[in-house]
Amino acid sequence: MNAFEPADGAEDPAGALGEWVRVASTANARLAGGGGPDAARLQGLQGALRTVQAIDAEGLHWLDWTAANQSADVGLPAEQLVFLEVEAREAGEGAIERREMQVVADLHDVRLDKALQRLAPEFSRNYLQQLLRDGQVWLDGRSVRKPATKVSVGQHLALSLRPTPQSQAFQPEAMRLDIRYEDAHLLVLDKPAGLVVHPAAGNWSGTLLNGLLAYHPVFGRLPRAGIVHRLDKDTSGLMVVAKSMPMVAALVERIASREVSRQYLAVVHGGARTVWPWQAPGQSVRVDAPIGRDPAHRQRMAVVDLERHAGKPAQTDVALLARSGDYALVHCRLHTGRTHQIRVHMRHLGLPLVGDALYGGVGHQALQRQALHAWRLGFVHPHTGQALALQTALPADLQALLTALSLPIEALPA
């Protein structure tokens, strides 16, 4: 099969869940046709990702591999699905597959988009509806674009499967990567603001994932190019990336068990009615408030009541470093890694980030993004046992913001 499209990915905007369900479905089709991968090259990866569960690492949801196999009714070990994903990336681009069938009795008077799922069961309904809108579906030789069209028994249904921007997202693109640490097992890089971490709607190219694929061939053999957590597009700072399958599993497990220290610097602002939670610099408060999808704004996260809405526990320690009028420089330490966690918790305190329009932050001419920087990253190296503690300087735009607001950069912790 040469046209690939991720299935619906639940909460993950990048579709990690759907990605693996899609790959599992493809595996099922390929193996049924006798086109499975060479078992010898899979043996060395046996059990490498058994520990990976459906955890949330700052918005990147990892799939329980066993669940993926069951949901796709494949029953294959995860290692085979990994290689099939790589094969999917390398499939001939531009290939078009045409499928045809006669509508049978049990599909009579069924919506066209549902009938298409019988013809192409390994693809998501959203993708099939996209093909409908693109004029790639025919009933009795006539192009049909409305998903709600009812089909009749005996009609001839045809579908043209074409590669989409999503299917061609895993392409290497050379870009400058600011590597702060690297060995044979992992690397730590300083992501600039404005760089999207992995392909998603509206950003199918020019992402960090594309840059990693160009940086070293090893990343082309790993799911998500070795990315085990993410930063928002407009957040700068340190990220760790795995260079092997066992390292992917080890780092994800450490993030889940809170063995990775992630510290951020942020500039926030209050107002006339703000009740500041600190009396003086150096004081810290813990925000212990669950986070879930905002029921009133589906593009945003929010602190939620778990008895009424879906969500997950979230904890952030926030220390005041310096204050100038309505503005403050704060130090945030994550204990969990929920989507937009710092941004949501600061809004919850009534102190949104400067420049964070999504969560009520005011803009400033010195900054064209949210004032958030992943400043420190620390963990014990899973392979060597070495304690790694990395720190990166504030980007120029955040330094300019501090200067404009009379917030001393000297207030940063040693």
Q: Tell me how many degrees the CA angle 127-132-136 measures, rounded to the nearest 5.
A: 100
User: Which two tokens mark 16?
Assistant: 């990690």
Catalytic residues: 232
**Short-list 90, 54, 89, CA closest to 71:** 54
What residue type is 85 in one-letter code? E
CA 110 to the chain's CA centroid: 35
Evaluate whether 213 touches 206 at the Cβ level (below 8 Å): no
Return all residues near 25 (Cβ < 8 A) that are at least 6 apart: 7, 72, 74, 121, 122
* Three-state secondary structure call for residue 157: strand
Task: List Cα–Cα distances, 35 to 1, 25, 121, 220, in angstroms.
Answer: 11, 13, 19, 21
CA atoms of 48 and 59, how far apart (whole Å): 23
Task: List Cα–Cα distances, 120 to 21, 112, 129, in angstroms.
Answer: 14, 12, 12
DSSP states along 333-389:
EESS--TTHHHHHHHHTT-PBTT-GGGTPPPBTTBSS--EEEEEEEEE-TTT-PEEE
